[in-house]
Chain A
Amino acid sequence: MNITSRLAWRNVWRHPRRTWLTIGAMVFSNALLVFMISIQFGMYELMIDNTLKAFTGHLQVQAVGYKDDLKIRQVVPDARSVAERLRSELELETITVRSSAFVLLSSEDRSYGVQVFGVDPEYEPRVSSIPGLVREGHYPTGRDAQEIVIGKVLARNLRVGLGDELTLLGSGRDGSFAAAVAEVAGIFDSGVTDMDRSIAEIPVGFFDDVFYMEGASHAVVIVTPDLASVPGIKSRVEASLPINEGLVVHDWDALQPGLKQAIQADISSAFFMYGILVILVAFSVMNTQLMSVLERTHEFGIVMSLGVTPGRLGTLVILETGMMALAGLLLGALAGGLVTLWFTYNGFSYPGMDQMAANFNLPSRFYPQVTVLTLFLGPAVVFVGSILSSLYPALRLHWLQPVAAMRAV
């Protein structure tokens, strides 16, 4: 350690209580940031995972333009073969086909417009949570069964129960009139009113017959093992698609822009709060360093008279701040990391959370996500904020005149 570093280190400890208070503020805010960011990122992952696993999947192969304009004509030809090939190439069983059409669904008393999906009963439970949310009856078991699964709200609106018949009226892929009668086999309860009111599912073979799909579907839905593997699998799927068939691979943020926007909005508001915390710490550091510079004015005058430039003195002040900030970063990251690690194993919950989570098909405990990013993002910002806050006290030294400084008491 050279003398400047030694000098900075000893200056830091001239007033141990003041130094510990400043470092303490940094440690507290850093630990809090580590915990909050880890919880936040863990929740996002859970939100994304649960939302995507509920229905959308991480990736979908679709006809170009289908995402923005859900026309029944825009299909993936021979979709079941595409899905089969992808299952084999990617060694992934969480791939299924899905078709969709808008129909008028009628019971004896009432009619409602809904989006009906043609699903593969064998593979759908592997990519979607809806089969697991069937609270009454059962999910269709055969591809050609003339059965329908509807949401709890829709069942109530239509005034139907298990075993009742519903009539579907819509347009087929070829523009012809499509109509069928299906028996209510199951009623699901996702806890999301919109979903429970507006969608219905029928087996894909039955859907093919009713809407004249001729083996085509509207999407091949893929659920990847985790979010991190999405880009890699997307590239492999793109490479594997038949050329010139007008197909495209969408990832989850294209399929669910609202989810990404919601997360971004949450990140913005959370980071605004974190920003305020960092600014408060920065002011605390600035106060400490300003006091420290003011009470050493005489000493600075002396060393300036010896030939030390204000720039070097400014560097000394920044170095002192850097030492405190580094201690705050390491201790804060350690404290925050340990607390968060405990919650990583034991989960994080609060009273009433299990009930709310069950409604949204979420687990009753959140598990924070500890990564290098969550561990050091907050403390690094506090570190930089502290260094920036020391610039003002350091810059003040540039205006210091040795003679005037030496007169200071």
Chain B
Amino acid sequence: MSAVRCIDLCKTYRQGDQDIKALDHVDLDIPEGDFVCLSAPSGGGKTTLLNAIGGLDVPDSGEVWVAGRRIDQLSKGDLAALRLAQIGFVFQAYNLVPVLSARENVEFVMQVQGIASGPRREKAMAILQEVGLEGLEDRRPAEMSGGQQQRVAVARAIVSRPALVLADEPTANLDSVTSGELMTLFVELNQMHGTTFVIATHDQSVMAYARRLIKMLDGKIVGDIDQQPG
């Protein structure tokens, strides 16, 4: 079954008096459990595609299917529910809530899901341990390094065991060592839990971890390569 399916997806932005085609008739099928990298230069359309798949942005035309459900016509509330239950996001800039500790950031999503405080806390502690942040649970984002913050963001993204994790330039602000550690963590999570990963990047070292590399240029898919992860 497809984790993600995009059919003839188009999205145009207006910039000044110019129309920019961010997605130009994109067709894409990502099976469940896949580990995919979207590679494109800046402005190539990878973030727009991720946003469309995550229901954060509505395409001008075409269809987006996630876990067998068409999402491009869902209401705001249904999209929020879908993201809450099925999709985890990891952003370039970590984007943690600054006034919450690492554990609270992870717990926050579960609280919105309505999970009781006991199991919620237990799960948060377990996931933070899994991403290597044991002992740092009570630190706030400002008290952690970039790598640690991104691990918290990953923990937050996967704590509800979503079927799909969308990561937008997750290593852009990390050094090469931390970047490698994060990608290893992604691979482990993909292998352990069968979570589908779609990672937008233009970092060659990140692409090396992917089993499938989709290349984009000017909103079009220009290459779709199966590769042996390095």
CB pair A307–B80 under 8 Å, yes or no, is yes
B111 is contacted by which of A2, A401, A402, A406 (Cβ under 8 Å)? A2
CA distance A306 to B88 in the complex (A): 7
Binds B, one of A56-64, A297-305, A333-341: A297-305
Cβ distance B76 to chain A, nearest Cβ, rounded Å: 7
CA distance A309 to B107 in the complex (A): 16
| A302: B residues at CB distance < 8 A | 91, 95, 97
The residue among A298, A299, A304, A306 with the most chain B CB atoms within 10 A of its own CB is: A306
CA distance A4 to B51 in the complex (A): 26
The residue among A10, A305, A310, A401 with the most chain B CB atoms within 10 A of its own CB is: A305
Mask for A35-73, Cβ within 8 A of B = 1, else 0? 000000000000000000000000000000000000000
| B87: A residues at CB distance < 8 A | 307
Determine whether B177 belongs to the interface, using a CB cutoff of 8 Å to chain A. Answer: no
Cβ distance A398 to chain B, nearest Cβ, rounded Å: 9
| A14: B residues at CB distance < 8 A | 99
CA distance A309 to B85 in the complex (A): 13
SS of A interface (majority): helix
Determine whether B83 belongs to the interface, using a CB cutoff of 8 Å to chain A. Answer: yes
| B99: A residues at CB distance < 8 A | 7, 10-11, 14
CB pair B95–A307 under 8 Å, yes or no, is no
Cβ distance B167 to chain A, nearest Cβ, rounded Å: 12
CA distance A14 to B142 in the complex (A): 13
Determine whether A227 belongs to the interface, using a CB cutoff of 8 Å to chain B. Answer: no
Chain B residue nearest to A2 (CB atoms) is B111
CB pair A403–B57 under 8 Å, yes or no, is yes
CB pair A6–B83 under 8 Å, yes or no, is no
Cβ distance A53 to chain B, nearest Cβ, rounded Å: 60
| B57: A residues at CB distance < 8 A | 401-403
CA distance A310 to B107 in the complex (A): 19
Chain B residue nearest to A398 (CB atoms) is B76
CA distance A6 to B57 in the complex (A): 30
| B112: A residues at CB distance < 8 A | 306-308, 312
Determine whether A276 belongs to the interface, using a CB cutoff of 8 Å to chain B. Answer: no
CA distance A256 to B112 in the complex (A): 60
Mask for B81-119, Cβ within 8 A of A = 1, else 0? 111110101010001011110001001110111000100
Determine whether A228 belongs to the interface, using a CB cutoff of 8 Å to chain B. Answer: no
| A7: B residues at CB distance < 8 A | 97, 99-100, 104, 108
Cβ distance A62 to chain B, nearest Cβ, rounded Å: 67
Taking A305-B83, A305-B89, A307-B80 as contacts, is the C-beta distance between A4 and B56 under 8 angstroms? no
Chain A residue nearest to B160 (CB atoms) is A307
CB pair A308–B80 under 8 Å, yes or no, is yes
Cβ distance B158 to chain A, nearest Cβ, rounded Å: 12
Determine whether B135 belongs to the interface, using a CB cutoff of 8 Å to chain A. Answer: no
Determine whether A3 belongs to the interface, using a CB cutoff of 8 Å to chain B. Answer: yes
CB pair B83–A309 under 8 Å, yes or no, is no
CB pair A3–B107 under 8 Å, yes or no, is yes
A3 is contacted by which of B89, B91, B111 (Cβ under 8 Å)? B111
Chain A residue nearest to B95 (CB atoms) is A302
CB pair A2–B109 under 8 Å, yes or no, is no
A interface residues, Cβ below 8 angstroms from B: 2-4, 6-7, 10-11, 14, 298-299, 302-310, 312, 401-403, 406
Inter-chain pairs besides A7-B104, A304-B80, A308-B84, 18 sampled, C-beta below 8 Å: A2-B117, A3-B107, A3-B108, A7-B99, A11-B99, A298-B95, A302-B97, A303-B108, A306-B109, A306-B156, A307-B80, A307-B112, A307-B113, A309-B77, A312-B112, A401-B57, A402-B57, A406-B56
The 10 closest A-B CB pairs, nearest first, are A307-B84, A10-B99, A307-B83, A302-B95, A402-B56, A309-B80, A403-B57, A3-B111, A403-B56, A307-B80
In the complex, 13 of the A-B residue pairs with CB atoms within 8 angstroms, ordered by the A residue number, are A3-B104, A7-B100, A10-B99, A14-B99, A302-B95, A305-B54, A306-B108, A307-B83, A307-B84, A309-B77, A309-B80, A402-B56, A406-B91
